[in-house]
Amino acid sequence: MRHGKIRSVRCGFFLRRGPVDMAEPLHIDIISVFPEAFKGFLSESIPARAARAGLVRVRTVDLRDFSDDRRRTVDDRPYGGGPGMLLKPEPWFRAVETVRRPHSRVILLGPAGRTFAQPVAQELAAERHIVLMCGHYEGFDERVRRLADEEISLGDFVLSGGEIAAAAIADAVIRLLPGALGGGAEASRLESFGEDGILEAPQYTRPPEYRGMRVPEALVSGDHARAADWRRRQAIDLTARRRPDLLERGGTYEA
Ligand SMILES: C[S@@+](CC[C@H](N)C(=O)[O-])C[C@H]1O[C@@H](n2cnc3c(N)ncnc32)[C@H](O)[C@@H]1O
């Protein structure tokens, strides 16, 4: 079988980034043994809209295309015994060496990595090319780690594969790209973990009263400065109650 060819581009949009930012789109390559898993996620909602707007280009790459046998084998039994199967090094080296460019940031997904959080998403949103390596079965042959610039974990739990982690990371990164959210830069600035790194204030929509629960007066008053002040105080108050650690991390949060 001939290598060096990416056959499984399931979702590729390569349009010019809009007037917000004329730079190249962020390019995300996701390498997986289950590239079909991304189909729904990539064709829906904000990731799909951002792709159509030319802000991001997401490709899924089938690891099996880089196997060297007819059965497209990518796994084998672990040396020394033990349960399950491990992903072999050869297909991973061929796949990553095919998609990697000099400016790429190659990320292996696994429980031993740095825990993913909004500051990591912000870092990644500033990259030009991200390669996400999704493990499966019992994980990777240890030598595969050599390919990665770093490892990222979604949290202290074990997933069956890196696909959910890759989808979560791609989504969190894509919504940070300028122009990805309907409300513009303001939208992600005011969100949880936004500009101040604190939680978002409670939000309401119509009706103004439902089952005796009224929308706070400051929000229906029509006074934008008063509404903004209310939101700010509520965000600080909510963060102090639920996530005081976020306030302790720094910044001045005058109520
Ligand atoms: C069943 S897990 C392997 C777990 C591995 N045997 C261990 O104990 O650390 C298969 C794959 O899922 C992905 N995965 C599992 N948990 C993850 C997490 N918390 N964050 C990111 N990826 C994860 C990794 O790519 C991993 O190689």
175-197 per-position pLDDT tens digit: 999 999 987 777 787 899 998 99
Q: Report the separation in Å between the CA atom of 245 and the middle of ligand 1, taken as the mean of its atom positions.
A: 27
- Mutation test residue for ligand 1: of 158, 160, 163, 169, the one with most atoms within 8 Å of CB: 158
Residue range 87-116: average pLDDT? 98
Reported as a single tens digit per residue, the pLDDT across 207-246 is: 999 999 999 999 999 999 999 999 999 999 999 999 999 9
Computed over every residue of the chain, the mean pLDDT equals 90
Helix axis angle for 163-174 and 118-125, nearest 10°, is 70
Name the residue at shortest CA distance from atom 1 of ligand 1.
160
A 10 A CB-CB count for 199 gives 22
Ligand 1: residues whose CB is within 6 Å? Answer: 109-111, 134-136, 138-140, 153-155, 157-162, 165
Q: Closest residue (by CA) to atom 22 of ligand 1?
A: 110
CA separation, residue 136 to residues 32, 83, 175, 219 (Å): 8, 13, 26, 48
**Atom of ligand 1 minimally distant from the CA of 87:** 27
Helix (H) or strand (E) holding 52: helix 45-52
DSSP 198: S
Select the CATH number that applies to the domain covering 192-248 from these four: 1.10.1270.20, 1.10.10.10, 2.30.30.40, 3.40.1120.10.
1.10.1270.20
Q: Which residues pair with 133 in a beta bridge?
A: 31, 108
As its CATH architecture, domain 26-174 has 3-Layer(aba) Sandwich (3.40)
Identify each DSSP E strand in the chain by its residue range: 26-32, 56-62, 75-76, 86-87, 105-115, 129-133, 150-153, 209-210, 213-214
CA 251, distance to chain mean position in Å, is: 26
Residues of the chain with CATH 1.10.1270.20: 192-248
What is the model's pTM?
0.90
| Residue among 87, 92, 109 to mutate when testing ligand 1 (max atoms within 8 A of CB) | 109
How confident is the model at residue 3, as a pLDDT? 53
Task: Kindly give the distance from the C-alpha atom of residue 109 to the centroid of ligand 1, in angstroms, as a whole number.
Answer: 7
Place of tokens 């409300």: 183
User: Which band of pLDDT confidence, cut at 50, 70 and 90, is reported for residue 251?
Assistant: low
How far, in Å, is the centroid of ligand 1 from the Cα of 166? 11
